[in-house]
Amino acid sequence: MKNLCFTTCTFPFLFGFIICSESCSKSGGGYNNPPSSTPSASINNVSKDRGTTSSVYEFQVSLSAKATSDATIHYTTVEGTAKEGADFTSASGTITISAGETKATIDITVTGDSLRKLNQLFYVQLDAPKNCTLKTSKGTGTIVNENSLYFPVDNTGYTTADSYPGYTLAWADEFDGNTVNTSNWTYEQGGNGWGNNELENYTDRKQNSFVSNGNLIIEARSESYNGGQYTSARMITKNKKTFEYGRVDIRAKLPKTKGIWPALWMLGNNIDAVGWPACGEIDIMELLGQEPSKMYNTIHFGSSVATHGSYGTNYSLTGESFDEKFHVFSMDWKEDSIKMFVDDNQVFACNKSVVGQPYPFNSDFFFIFNIAVGGNWPGSPDGSTVFPQRMIVDYIRVFQK
C-alpha cells in the first residue's frame, strides 16, 4: 500500500541553518485514523390498554448503528403510580445486542384489572452500558386503565317505587347487562355544535359510554378527537322506544365541574317532519356543572324558531350537590299537562293554557341522555374544570295507564 509522506521544516535564527523532518502514514486506514464511533442506545415508551388478565409490555432497546461487538446494558423496573406486585412484576437483568444487530427487547408483565380509573406509570431504567452509550436511559410504561369497563358506584340516594296504583310498567331499562342495549338506544355522533355551539364530539365508543354493575355511565373526556378537544356520548330512543303520556322515573347521579352540561330530556318523535321547536322539547333534568346543587326543568315549544317559547323552573338542594348521591328525576305526563318531580317532590307544573300557542306535548316523544361540554348556556371549560366527568344512570322506567 502506498505511503503518504509529509516534510516539515523550521529555520532557527540563532544557529543559521534549516532543520527538516518527515512523517509518513499509510493511506486507506492505517496509522493516525480516528477510532470508529460507539453506537448510542435508546429505549422506547409503551402504552397499552390494560386487560382483565396479565399481559406483556414489550420495550425495545435500539442502537444508533450496528454493534461491532456485543453491546450489553443493565435494566431494572422502577415504580411510578403503578406499584410492583399490584400492577406489574418487577424485573431486572442485562440485555445483549449481538455484534451486527441493532435491537433487543425487554418484556415486563402487567397484571390484569378491569377497574376504570386513572392511568398508571412505571419505568424501565437502563444503566451500565458496555460497547455503547446511553442516549435515552428511561422508558415509560403507561398502563391505560381509563378504558376499562368496571366502575363501581356508591348506590346511596333516593329510589322510587317499582309500581304505582293504576299504572303498569310499559318499558324500563335497568342497565343490568354487560353492554348498552341497542334495541333501546341509538348513538348520535359528531361534533357539529348541536345548535348550541357545544365543543364535544359525540361517539359510540366504550370510552364515552358503557354499562357496569347495573348502571349506564356516560363519560365526558378532554382528549383530541376528530379535530376537537372533548368527547362524550348522546343516546336516544328515537323510533325505538317512544311514548305518549305516563309516569317517568330516572334515577341518576350527575357530574360537577365548570362547562359541563348533563341532560335527561325528550323530543317529539316527529322532529324530522316538523323541525324544532314545533316538535316540542321536555327537559326533565338539566344541570350546569358550575352550579352542582341546582337543576332545571323546562319545556320548549313554538311553530318555528322565530316563535320559540319556553317555560321552566329550577330546584336546588340544600347543603349538598347532585354529584354526591343518586336522585330520581320524574315526570307525570297527562293530556294537556306536565308535572315534574325530584325525589317525589313536585318542582314543576305546566298545562296547555300556559303555552298559549300550538301545544306539541300530546304526541309521541323519545328520550335523550347526554353530557354536553361547553355551549352557549354553561360556557366553556376553564382551568378549574376536571375531567373525566360522568353521569351515572341506574334506571329509567315508564309507567302508563
Through-space distance between the first and last CA atoms of the chain, rounded to whole angstroms: 107
Provide the 8-state DSSP code for 277.
Answer: T
Of 341, 326, 399, the C-alpha closest to 159 is: 326
Q: Which among 281, 320, 324, 335 is annotated as catalytic?
A: 281
DSSP labels, 234-247 = EEE-TTTSEESSEE
Strand spans (E) along 246-388: 246-253, 260-268, 281-287, 294-301, 309-316, 327-334, 337-342, 345-351, 365-373
Question: Nearest CA to 284 among 313, 317, 321?
Answer: 313
Assess contact for 112 and 52: CB atoms under 8 A.
Answer: yes
Please give the grid coordinates belonging to residue 323: 354529584
Question: From the candidates 22, 101, 286, 324, which is the catalytic residue?
Answer: 286
Per-residue exposure over 84-106, b if at least 16 CB sit within 10 Å of its own CB, e if not: eeebbeeeeeebebeeeebebeb
d(CA 342, CA 325): 13
Of the candidates 298, 255, 198, 191, the one whose C-alpha atom is nearest the C-alpha of residue 392 is: 255
Longest dimension (CA), the chain: 131
DSSP 306: G
For the question of residue 286 being annotated catalytic, the response is yes
Sequence-separated contacts (24+) of 332-338 with Cβ below 8 Å: 332/247, 333/245, 333/246, 333/247, 333/248, 333/282, 333/361, 334/245, 335/245, 335/362, 336/361, 336/362, 338/282, 338/299
HSE of 333, CA atoms in CB hemisphere, 13 A: 23
Q: How far apart are CA 380 and CA 148, in angstroms?
A: 28
The radius of gyration computed from the CA coordinates of the chain, to the nearest angstrom, equals 34
Catalytic residues: 281, 286
